[in-house]
């Protein structure tokens, strides 16, 4: 915390993109605009993004698509598989614009940033500048919520989104105390950032129903029934900052897992999947400059088919030496899989996790290291990474990861990678 910043009232903004995945798709395909549209999770499983029109039809977040698709399609809803290549690239563009319009930025998720706007005069006009620039440069629409703490900024953002009269920008600190009270009285307590279904139920049992109820709840009462997390939420609602803008830290664990497009029975197919997942996790590991000391492999049958024989097992391995080498990690993962694999089950999902991550600079020399070999491996990995970056994911891969990948996920309605491939540039006619 800088000493000068305490003089000025702290002002944070939470900026997020409206209906992010759906909006990305609509930027490049005008036929989607103004229509009910949903984007589905991996494997075309659940609804993870909805256009305003789809929300209006009552399609809920995280709904399994197969349960609602018939009705939704009858009402004119269009559905797309998720295209993370596109969303990741659009995210980077939005984040760059936001970062250029604020002294400090924390990228909080693929479509959200906290910005520190302390000291900037005319905050609401600045919010409108952010909005118009993002719209002009990317075609996406953002909403801006401004307040003295992160939790209040999240609330302000909710208001900016819900109440059209604010034009997508809302500063809660501009309200008179009485107006804030009546505003918070109208917001259910589970609109507050950090209050999920469980806490919501517990709070309701205590008679805390609205955001105002929570904000004005006696600290002692909260402490009795909950933990410091909820205490901090209450403090933050009252304008006492407990959460700071975070700078990017390397991940503490890296997970790669997928449901299969169909049931898998043979060990060889599971092995292909596990090797594929290790490859992608190890690439991320190297990208953040870490080494892993631990690895976990897990397999699972279809939990949604309880009439079928169920089996779920994971195995955790401590590596003899921290490493970022795909081949080494793959060997340990395959050995772990061999131990947990059981014949006669219909597997639906598998995954791997890398943990106990540490910086690569502190790599320890082992007593029996074959240093020339390690150096060759390092060159091999970085060559593969560069090739895959230049020619596209999977351009170079381990043979063991499989070529056809018959177990791969379903993505029946995938849009092109408009912004990251010359072959798929959108055409203007």
Question: Which residues contribute to the site for DNA (CB under 7 A)?
Answer: 41-43, 45-46, 48, 62, 64, 66-67, 108-112, 154, 193-200, 227-229, 249, 251-259, 263, 284, 302, 304-305, 348-349, 351, 409
Q: 124-160 burial, b for 16+ CB within 10 Å, e for fewer?
A: eebbeebbeebeeebebebbbbbbbbbbbbbbbbbbb
Distance in angstroms (rounded) separating the CA atoms of residues 110 and 48: 13
Nearer to DNA, 129 or 315 (CB): 315
Shortest reach from residue 370's CB to DNA, in Å:
28
238 vs 302, which CB is nearer to DNA?
Answer: 302
What is d(CA 338, CA 110) in angstroms, rounded to the nearest whole number? 36
Nearer to DNA, 249 or 343 (CB): 249
Name 38's bridge partners. 50, 79
C-beta closer to DNA: residue 69 or 419: 69
User: 355: burial class by Cβ within 10 Å (0-12, 13-18, 19+)?
Assistant: middle
User: Which one, 120 or 280, has the nearer CB to DNA?
Assistant: 280
Instruction: Give the helix/strand (H/E) hosting 198.
Output: helix 197-205
In angstroms, what is the minimal distance from the CB of 331 to DNA? Answer: 21
CB of 316 to DNA, least distance (A): 8
Token readout for 169 is 């920008």
| Residue 7 C-beta: closest distance to DNA, Å | 28
Q: How far apart are CA 135 and CA 129, in angstroms?
A: 10
Calculate ∠ Cα 149-252-371, nearest 5°.
145
- Rounded least distance, CB 60 to DNA, Å: 12
Give the angle subtended at the CA of 202 by the CAs of 199 and 205, to the nearest 5°. Answer: 150
Which of 294, 424 has the CB closer to DNA? 294
| Minimum CB distance to DNA, residue 157 (Å) | 9
CA distance 85 to 131: 24
Please give the Cα distance from 53 to 38 (Å, whole number). Answer: 10
């Amino acid at each position: 915390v800088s000493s000068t910043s305490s003089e000025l009232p702290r002002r944070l903004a939470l900026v997020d993109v409206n209906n992010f995945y759906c909006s990305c798709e609509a930027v490049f395909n005008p036929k989607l605009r103004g229509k009910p549209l949903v984007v589905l999770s991996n494997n075309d499983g659940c609804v993870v993004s909805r256009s305003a029109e789809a929300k209006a039809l009552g399609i809920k977040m995280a709904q399994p698509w197969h349960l609602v698709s018939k009705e939704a399609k009858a009402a004119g809803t269009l559905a797309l598989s998720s295209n993370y290549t596109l969303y990741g690239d659009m995210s980077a563009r939005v984040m760059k614009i936001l970062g250029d319009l604020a002294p400090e930025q924390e990228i909080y998720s693929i479509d959200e940033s906290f910005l520190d706007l302390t000291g900037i005069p005319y905050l609401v006009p600045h919010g409108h500048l952010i909005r118009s620039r993002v719209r002009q440069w990317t075609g996406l629409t953002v909403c801006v919520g401004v307040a003295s703490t992160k939790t209040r900024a999240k609330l302000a953002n909710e208001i900016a989104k819900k109440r059209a009269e604010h034009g997508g920008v809302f500063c809660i600190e501009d309200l008179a105390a009485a107006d804030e009270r009546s505003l918070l009285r109208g917001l259910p307590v589970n609109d507050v950032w950090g209050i999920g279904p469980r806490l919501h139920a517990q709070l309701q049992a205590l008679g805390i129903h609205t955001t105002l109820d929570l904000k004005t709840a006696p600290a002692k009462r909260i402490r009795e029934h909950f933990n410091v997390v909820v205490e901090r939420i209450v403090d933050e609602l009252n304008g006492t900052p407990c959460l700071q803008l975070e700078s990017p830290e390397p991940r503490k664990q890296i997970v790669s897992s997928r449901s299969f497009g169909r049931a898998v029975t043979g060990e060889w197919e599971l092995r292909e999947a596990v090797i594929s997942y290790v490859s992608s996790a190890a690439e991320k590991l190297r990208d953040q400059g870490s080494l892993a000391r631990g690895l976990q492999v897990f397999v699972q049958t279809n939990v949604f088919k309880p009439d079928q024989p169920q089996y779920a097992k994971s195995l955790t391995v401590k590596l003899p030496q921290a490493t970022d080498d795909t081949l080494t990690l793959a060997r340990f993962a395959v050995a772990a899989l061999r131990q947990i694999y059981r014949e006669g089950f219909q597997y639906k999902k598998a995954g791997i996790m890398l943990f106990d991550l540490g910086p690569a600079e502190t790599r320890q020399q082992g007593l029996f290291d074959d240093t020339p070999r390690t150096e060759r491996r390092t060159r091999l990995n970085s060559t593969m990474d560069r090739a895959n970056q230049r020619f596209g994911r999977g351009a170079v891969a381990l043979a063991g990861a499989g070529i056809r990948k018959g177990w791969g996920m379903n993505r029946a309605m995938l849009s092109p990678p408009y912004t990251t491939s010359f072959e798929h540039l959108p055409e203007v006619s």
